[in-house]
Amino acid sequence: MESGIRFSDVSFHYPNKTDVLKHITLTISRGTFVGITGVNGSGKSTLTYLMNGLIPHSVPGTHTGTVFVDGIDTRRKSVSYFSQSVGMVFQNPDFSLFNLTVAEEISFGLHNLKHAVNNKIIENSLGLVGLFGFETRDPQSLSFGEKQKVCLASVLALDVSYIILDEPTAMLDYKSSRQLYALLKKLNTQGKTIVVIEHDTDFLWDFTSETVILDHGSIIRSGKTKDVLSQSTLLTSLGIKKPQGVRV
Amino acid sequence: MNLVTLTRLKLIALICFSTLFVLIRNVYGIFLIFGVIIVLTKLHMRRGHLKSRITAIIGVSAFVIVFQLLFNGSVAIQQRLLIGSLTAFRLISLSLLVLLFTETTSPTSIVAVLSFLPKNINLMLTISFSLIPAILQEISAIQIAQQARGLRKGSIIPVLVPLLNRTLTRAEHIAIVLQTRGFE
């Protein structure tokens, strides 16, 4: 059976707007750690919405081409179906938390997907992100970084194969960002496929195995991170920060 | 007694008290219950909260009395004043009762008590309860941003449009997040 996430000539535009994604053909193999970078408005977040069926099922717009998750066309199954294998951490955790306690937040997905719900799973997933003991806290009372970690813990509890994160370090300090990437790397070595949208190419350089550069909805480069991010002239022309490894 | 049972009892008491207060016709009875509610709220609540709730409801109560005086032409003026005042007392008392209940009960317990409701309605309640503090924070953030750009303090109307916009955006986003976590 085919595994991984495969885009086959995918284009998409929101209602009354020009194409956000143009003829995207890309394969994200299982077990890889993929970074997606590009300037604002290049289509990075939209690309991730295609990876679990949010497009075309929930986000309005016109979509051509096909996206396969483990060989299944995302148009043929619901978002809920794909949530069993694809977990998503959105950019703004303020908009992603809606339960009254952290424990309820973690168990929400478990209930929906009919997984066993027990304290051990909740404690383990919170422990992984460094929030052990936060079970009874109100998610709205946490700091932004803590909220982001609760969102990640909610996905980890579901034990999904693919974890997609949209700019997870946007509101985190440097130390927390590195800790988060170290955790993602660890999950990756345990077999999870990680896809992360990131502006800071230093994190991509240090942690990811593959990188995709998007610009105006098209893939400009994709491949091994070290190869893609070594092209300093290209990065400069696209307005993307060069990683320190290349600058030195 | 566990927390959920206690909350269930409080909820039943709230419903009984409110119904009694609406049905009762005896003037002394209304004053008596009003007095009991005032004492209970003063015992259990912070002064600031009580004051802000009373301030908010006083305007509505005054409007009810004035409305009775001006438009209930079928009875004598003293009777209109009495009807208006009793309605105002009822409004204040019911408002304080609900405030007393919400102040002394955690949202988690309220949702737990209402868990017999259908899944969708329960989720709706949970989201509503959880977003109250978030929306209050939102109001404060919008006000600060507007005041920093010269808007007079206390202006409510300019806050409404951005608040509505953000709340709708948040609602749309939550709908998407729900699906990504397996909710159908």
Over chain A, what is the mean pLDDT?
A: 91
Of all residues in chain A, the one with the smallest CA distance to B167 is A95
Residue B33 — very low, low, confident or very high, per pLDDT cuts 50/70/90?
A: confident
pLDDT the model gives residue A112: 87
pLDDT the model gives residue A220: 94
Number of inter-chain CB pairs under 8 A, A vs B: 80
Residues of chain A contacting residue B108, judged by C-beta atoms under 8 Å apart: 100-101, 104
Residues of chain B contacting residue A96, judged by C-beta atoms under 8 Å apart: 173-174, 177
Please answer whether residues B30 and B90 qualify as being in contact, where contact means their C-beta atoms are separated by less than 8 angstroms. yes
* Nearest-angstrom CA–CA distance, B138 and B136: 5
B173 touches chain A (CB under 8 A): yes
Structure tokens at A148: 């982001």
| Residue where the block lists tokens 């998610």 | A139
C-beta atoms of A109 and B173 within 8 A: no
Please answer whether residues B88 and B65 qualify as being in contact, where contact means their C-beta atoms are separated by less than 8 angstroms. yes
B166 touches chain A (CB under 8 A): no
Amino acid, single-letter form, for residue A23: H
- Average pLDDT of span B55-71: 87
Q: At what angle do helices B157-180 and B119-148 cross, to 10 degrees?
A: 140
Q: Around Cβ A177, how many Cβ atoms within 10 Å?
A: 19
Task: Identify the segments of chain A with pLDDT beneath 50.
Answer: none
Residue A56 preceded by cis peptide, ω within 30: yes
pLDDT the model gives residue B4: 81
C-beta atoms of A112 and B182 within 8 A: yes
pTM: 0.79
B129 touches chain A (CB under 8 A): yes
Q: What is the ipTM of this complex?
A: 0.75
Amino acid, single-letter form, for residue B140: S
Q: How far is CA B75 from CA B80, B85, B91, in A?
A: 6, 15, 22
pLDDT the model gives residue A223: 93
pLDDT the model gives residue A247: 62
Q: How far is CA A123 from the centre of its chain?
A: 23
C-beta atoms of A54 and B169 within 8 A: no
Residue B46 — very low, low, confident or very high, per pLDDT cuts 50/70/90?
A: confident
Which residue among B108, B130, B180 places its CB closest to the CB of A98?
Answer: B130
Residues of A with CB under 8 A from a CB of B: 52, 54, 57-59, 78-80, 83-84, 86-88, 90, 92, 94-101, 104, 108-109, 112-113, 138-141, 154, 158
> Of A230, A182, A234, which Cα lies nearest the Cα of A208?
A182
pLDDT the model gives residue B142: 85
pLDDT the model gives residue A46: 93
Residues of chain A contacting residue B115, judged by C-beta atoms under 8 Å apart: none
| Residue where the block lists tokens 């942690």 | A207
Which residue among B108, B134, B181 places its CB closest to the CB of A101?
Answer: B108
B179 touches chain A (CB under 8 A): yes
Characterize the bridge pairing of strands A62-69 and A5-13: antiparallel
Residue B2 — very low, low, confident or very high, per pLDDT cuts 50/70/90?
A: confident
C-beta atoms of A140 and B129 within 8 A: no
Of all residues in chain A, the one with the smallest CA distance to B132 is A140
- Beta-strand runs (E) in chain A: 5-13, 21-28, 33-37, 62-69, 72-73, 86-89, 162-166, 193-197, 210-215, 218-224
- Average pLDDT of span B54-71: 86
pLDDT the model gives residue B30: 83
* Nearest-angstrom CA–CA distance, A29 and A18: 30
* Nearest-angstrom CA–CA distance, A85 and B182: 10
Residue B183, C-beta contacts closer than 8 angstroms, at least 6 positions apart? A80, A108, A112, B123
Characterize the bridge pairing of strands A162-166 and A193-197: parallel
* Nearest-angstrom CA–CA distance, A243 and A248: 9
Q: Is B1's pLDDT higher than 70? A: no
For an interface test with B, which of A49, A95, A143, A158 has the most B Cβ atoms less than 10 Å from its Cβ? A95
Structure tokens at A225: 């991170």
Please answer whether residues A37 and A201 qualify as being in contact, where contact means their C-beta atoms are separated by less than 8 angstroms. yes
Residue B76 — very low, low, confident or very high, per pLDDT cuts 50/70/90?
A: confident
pLDDT the model gives residue A208: 95
C-beta atoms of A80 and B174 within 8 A: no
Q: How far is CA B152 from CA B113, B156, B158, in A?
A: 43, 10, 10
* Nearest-angstrom CA–CA distance, B112 and B110: 5
